[in-house]
Amino acid sequence: MQLSKIFILTLVFTQGLFAEQDYRTFLPSDRCPIPLSLALPDNYTVAPTEPEYTHVFSLDISRGVLWGTKEDIDQAYKDWEGALKNLQSGLFRVTISSHIPLEEHYKMMQNDRLVKDHISAGMKVMTYDKFYWGDFPVIALTSEYAGLVMKSAWVGVPYSQSVLHIAYFPSKEEEVDLWKSFLEKTKPLERKDYLSYLGAEMEEGWSRFSQGNTVIEGFAEQEEKGQIKLVLTPRTAGTTISVEGATVAKEGVKVQLTTKRNDPTYGCVVTPYIFTISPKQVTSSTLSGEVLMDSEEILIMSHCH
């Protein structure tokens, strides 16, 4: 089976009812979760691009995955090119693009490079669109080559500075435009759900993040039009905190920090964090601690328990 001949990515759909599929299952990643609520048929499953990968590697989007019904995936394993001509439901092949870095993807949101590249490769461009799934910039393009219709999307992933490539081949008997539904109904995960998955709990003025065996708790207060005061406390013994920077965003303060923890088994464990917290508005702040960072907007302190 020569998957590499069929473009960088290939995807396929099915004619079941749509469901919000769990990105942890359909976009598996050891390095960076891609928090998208995927509008895919409820009878879809996920599988590696090559059947032998099942016995060698764990599922990971960096090696590519297939989305589709079990029947279509099994047929694709036996005869890839033949399967594309006789799909019962459609099929997707998804991976991280090795050709387009995120910085270049943002540039392509402002020009028509992809259209020119497809035309120069002898393809007929049928549709072309650019839009966003929340913070995820999307370029969608439908093309035809040698009688085969390919529907592709390039999705910028700001969390990992990478680009997700999604390709879709429809079935011949497709009655519903599943690709159109996928593009229109897929959306970013609700922030509270994503933070919960990452091990974070948040309330106004309080936040706690868990990563591995390290737990950091924070409290934040702001007097009217005053400096935001933030206290970070490691809740894991032997843990210290250093702050690289902080910014104020609409969802609160984002602190770039690093923790160091002495582990009896692994020695010194260093972990980078993005700690997010929404400050509580107060008349007079009572927070105090050892100063880690002091700017005009934000005062960050540490308190060891």
Domain co-membership, 212 together with 146: no
Measured CA to CA, the distance from residue 150 to residue 11 in angstroms comes to 9
As for how many domains the chain has, the answer is 2
Buried b (16+ CB within 10 A) or exposed e, 142-164: bbeeeeeebbbbbbbbebbebbb
Are 279 and 227 within 8 A, CB to CB? Answer: no
- Predicted confidence at residue 174, as pLDDT, reads 67
Residue 53 maps to which CATH number?
A: 3.40.1000.10
Q: List the one residue out of 96, 85, 258, 77 whose CA is nearest residue 169.
A: 85
Q: List the one residue out of 19, 26, 13 whose CA is nearest residue 69.
A: 13
Q: How far is CA 12 from CA 5, 76, 88, 151, 269, in A?
A: 16, 11, 10, 9, 42
Domain co-membership, 104 together with 163: yes
Q: List the one residue out of 66, 48, 31, 50 whose CA is nearest residue 166.
A: 66
Per-residue pLDDT of the chain (305 residues; tens, 9 = 90+): 433 333 333 333 334 455 666 667 888 876 667 888 899 998 999 999 887 765 556 788 888 999 999 999 999 999 988 888 888 888 999 998 877 888 888 888 888 888 888 888 888 999 999 999 988 899 999 998 888 888 999 998 876 778 999 999 888 776 568 899 999 999 988 766 766 666 678 889 999 887 767 889 999 999 988 999 999 999 888 889 999 889 887 778 989 888 888 877 777 888 777 788 999 999 999 999 999 999 999 999 998 65
Domain co-membership, 171 together with 296: no
Measured CA to CA, the distance from residue 130 to residue 137 in angstroms comes to 8
Are 68 and 101 within 8 A, CB to CB? Answer: no
Within 13 A of 127's CA, how many CA atoms are on the CB side? 12
Domain co-membership, 14 together with 148: yes
Measured CA to CA, the distance from residue 18 to residue 9 in angstroms comes to 22
Specify the residue for token string 């279509």: 72
- Predicted confidence at residue 27, as pLDDT, reads 87
Domain co-membership, 111 together with 220: no
Domain co-membership, 27 together with 157: yes
Q: List the one residue out of 193, 192, 195 whose CA is nearest residue 274.
A: 195
End-of-domain residue from the set 147, 174, 189: 189
**Which residues form the domain of 288?**
194-302
Cα-based torsion angle of the residue sequence 237, 243, 244, 250 in order, rounded to the nearest 10 degrees: 110
Measured CA to CA, the distance from residue 102 to residue 160 in angstroms comes to 9
Domain co-membership, 46 together with 180: yes
End-of-domain residue from the set 160, 189, 218: 189
Within 13 A of 248's CA, how many CA atoms are on the CB side? 13
- Predicted confidence at residue 74, as pLDDT, reads 92
Q: List the one residue out of 270, 265, 266, 218 whose CA is nearest residue 239.
A: 270
Are 150 and 179 within 8 A, CB to CB? Answer: no
Q: List the one residue out of 155, 146, 217, 162 whose CA is nearest residue 187.
A: 155
Domain co-membership, 142 together with 283: no
Domain co-membership, 223 together with 270: yes
- Predicted confidence at residue 22, as pLDDT, reads 66
